[in-house]
Amino acid sequence: MKNLDWSGLSFGYVPTDYNVRCYYRNGKWGEIEISSDEYLKLHMAATCLHYGQEAFEGLKAYRCPDGKVRLFRAEENAARLQQTCRGIVMPEVPTDLFIEMAEKVVRLNQAYIPPYESGASLYLRPLLIGTSANVGVKPSKEYLFLIFATPVGPYFKGGFVSNPYVIERRFDRAAPLGTGKYKVGGNYAASLKANKLAHEKGYVSEFYLDSKEKKYVDECGAANFFGIKNNTYVTPKSSSILPSITNKSLMQIAEDLGMKVECRPILEEELDTFEEAGACGTAAVISPISHLDDIETGKVYSYGDKPGAWSTKLYETLRGIQYGTVADKHGWTRVVID
């Protein structure tokens, strides 16, 4: 294992030894290639650079207390990437290819998988880009799919602690019939300004209402939202949010723990009725919300400075499954190194 300051890692980029690549040419995917180069040689007219033909994914490999290394729900990331591919007219990366490359990049970089005790993990970033030169707006003929790996610490400093969020009405992240449900770079570009303003005001992230009416809850920056009341886990149904794999898992765990689960539109006013609320995603698992401020109306939705009982239980169960300490009864994990 490399000698890194594992517990001091942030959610950033640390170089590792290898990435894996596969090219799509003449209508088919080629062989998997292993590379030690951190750079890409790209045509300056590549469609990914001009027309945003770019999609990515994010998943983690965990070094577990039993000594094994596990990947969490990689098939779900493959399926979501395929949805994104259909959404922005790129060839789908087959699930088998996705999984083979994910496993390979973990094994090749195993010296960079943080120790269990550090709370850090190995983040995988699959990336698919259109590489053909085109000056007219049309899909590329050729593509590059790659996966790199980088060790990461917690997304928010302090890990599982409650943080403040701010409702940002001046910007839309994605349109109702746009690309919000796909993991494409353009959505993140659209969020950067709102995110910067939120940080400047001391919030960990911006929080979006629906773009059309600003009446319903959408998501929390780069994470889905859930609220809890009366033993019920409630999460928004919206056509412009990313279908989070963490949220999907938490809905199942909530049900397993005996909670009711509702996925439906959530009016902003309903935020007042939740006993607990949180943001969820691969990076933080759950980031409990301490308070959510609607600066324009002066309304403050408060959920307490400490994570609530249900959020804690959900967090511990999901982390336990990822680290192999809680029974994986739905078969969500895949042992990559035994």
Binding site for ligand PLP (CB under 6 A): 58, 219, 222-224, 242, 244-247, 281-282
- Pairing relationship of beta strands 69-72 and 143-152 according to DSSP bridges: unpaired
Q: Closest distance between ligand PLP and the C-beta of residue 175, in Å?
A: 14
Q: Closest distance between ligand PLP and the C-beta of residue 191, in Å?
A: 8
Q: Closest distance between ligand PLP and the C-beta of residue 31, in Å?
A: 29
Contact 335, 72 (CB under 8 A): no
| Start-end of H helices in 10-123 | 47-50, 74-87, 95-108
Is the Cβ of residue 81 or residue 228 nearer to ligand PLP in the bound state?
A: 81
Q: What is the CA angle 39-43-47, rounded to 5?
A: 105
How many CB atoms neighbour CB 257 within 10 A?
14
Is the Cβ of residue 208 or residue 303 nearer to ligand PLP in the bound state?
A: 208
The 3-state DSSP class for residue 224 equals: strand
The 3-state DSSP class for residue 116 equals: helix
Is the Cβ of residue 106 or residue 242 nearer to ligand PLP in the bound state?
A: 242
Is the Cβ of residue 117 or residue 256 nearer to ligand PLP in the bound state?
A: 256
Q: What tokens does 266 get? A: 């959530």
Phi and psi based region of residue 23 (left: phi greater than 0; alpha: psi -120 to 50; beta: remaining): beta
Is the Cβ of residue 142 or residue 151 nearer to ligand PLP in the bound state?
A: 151
Q: Closest distance between ligand PLP and the C-beta of residue 111, in Å?
A: 25
| CA–CA separation, 61 and 333 (whole Å) | 10
Is the Cβ of residue 10 or residue 273 nearer to ligand PLP in the bound state?
A: 10
Comparing C-alpha atoms, which of 237, 31, 68, 53 is closest to residue 129? 53
Q: Closest distance between ligand PLP and the C-beta of residue 43, in Å?
A: 28
149 alpha carbon, distance to own chain's centre? 15
Q: Closest distance between ligand PLP and the C-beta of residue 213, in Å?
A: 20
Task: For the chain, give percent helix, strand, coil, nearest 5.
Answer: 25, 30, 45
Q: Closest distance between ligand PLP and the C-beta of residue 224, in Å?
A: 5
Is the Cβ of residue 47 or residue 246 nearer to ligand PLP in the bound state?
A: 246
